[in-house]
Structure 1
Amino acid sequence: MTRQLSTSFSGALRTFAYFMASGTHYALEGVDYLPLYGNEPSAIEMTFAIYVNVIKLDENGNVLNAKYAERRAAEYLKEYCIPGYKAYPAFEEWETTLHAPPSLKDQI
């Protein structure tokens, strides 16, 4: 059985991506992170990894904690960009895990 991502998750991810790419996310006001795009892609990769690792969905695919997931991802960028800044609480390993991409046969 194949399933698509829920419209709730799709909308949450789209909104997060817009705020991140436009430099308008409220939790990153004053943080100069836009130059990372194209220059330090691993920082952006980790930001999105944290977002999707933290976000929770109910049994129907409805997002339960979009703003919390955004905040955790923003905390990572603050740590990355602001010397001496520490996220609270500190990141746990499961939040920062970079999961493997699909196998090549699944990408076709």
Structure 2
Amino acid sequence: MAQLPEDVRASLRFFAFYLANGTLDMELLDGIDYRPALMQFGSTLEMVFTIFTNVLEVDETGLVINEGDAQLRAAQWIRHYCNPSYVVDPPFRLWETKLAGP
């Protein structure tokens, strides 16, 4: 069985670090301590990772080509979750929020 490419694994690792550290997209999430909200219900954190991985693109050699875009979309979801008056632009498309698996 093949592993995820090293660049993808690194992107996931950094995303998890920034998320847990409270430093994901410092500009968009400035002043918002989103960590308690994400840990309150498992489905909230699940959606953050769903959006990040659904948006993440990898080229034919296994290199991630849009890590910043994937982080931004996840951060936008967090901002909207913590502050429902925040308008996500552009709005999420169904494929961005579709859960994988059974």
Task: State the alpha-carbon separation in 2 of the partners of residues 83 and 59 from structure 1.
Answer: 38
TM-score relative to the length of structure 2: 0.91
Q: What's the offset of the Cα at 1:38?
A: 3.0
Map 1:1-108; keep pairs closer than 5 Å.
2-25=1-24, 26=26, 27-100=28-101
Q: How many residues align?
A: 100
- Say if 1:55 and 1:63, in contact at 8 Å, map to a contact too: yes
TM-score relative to the length of structure 1: 0.87
* Equivalent residue letter for 2:101: A
The share of aligned pairs that are identical, in percent, is 41
Q: What's the offset of the Cα at 1:81?
A: 0.3
Task: State the alpha-carbon separation in 1 of the partners of residues 7 and 66 from structure 2.
Answer: 11
Q: In the TM superposition, what whole-angstrom CA distance separates every residue of 1:66-85 from its partner, at most 9, and x where no partner exists?
A: 00000000000001001311
Q: List, as ranges, runs of 4+ consecutive aligned residues in structure 1 with deviation greater than 4 Å.
A: none
Runs (5+) with no aligned partner, structure 2: none
Q: Between Structure 1 and Structure 2, whose CA radius of gyration is higher?
A: 1
- Say if 1:31 and 1:82, in contact at 8 Å, map to a contact too: no
